[in-house]
Amino acid sequence: MNKQRKEPVILVINQSLNLLNLFHEILEDEGFEVELSNFTFEGVGTIDQLQPDLIIMDFDGQGENNQWQLLQMLKMHGSSSHIPILLIALAIEAFREQEEYLRSKNIGLLYKPFEKNDLLAAVHQAFDS
């Protein structure tokens, strides 16, 4: 966690404004500072400036190549490679096959559909790892 801030900062990346607002409400009520974004591929500069303590990224299967590219850029870029990422995705075989590898790269998975308590548990687990 950034030592100059009181609360951990979570950046939520999602294409849906309604879901962004719901994530904001849930996470802020839990005491986190929450930043929202609907960008995908061109957002690494914003992440450099913000330096969140956690990135929650929706992986919806639409624009899948851009989502994988963003994930790759985040892990290769020096100023963001240390930031834990929580991917939210459908429990498809591709993710299940790569789950252990992704976790070894500090990328957690939360499968859709999920409940509020599942989200909060995954967020706390990301901070504990």
pLDDT digits (tens, 9 = 90+) for 38-74: 875 555 677 878 899 999 999 876 656 678 888 888 8
Residues 6+ apart with CB under 8 A from 65: none
User: How is the chain split into domains, by residue range?
Assistant: 13-63+84-106
Q: What is the pLDDT of residue 116?
A: 97
Residue ranges, the chain, pLDDT below 50: none
CA dist 33 and 46 (Å) reads 16
pTM exceeding the 0.75 threshold for the entire prediction: yes
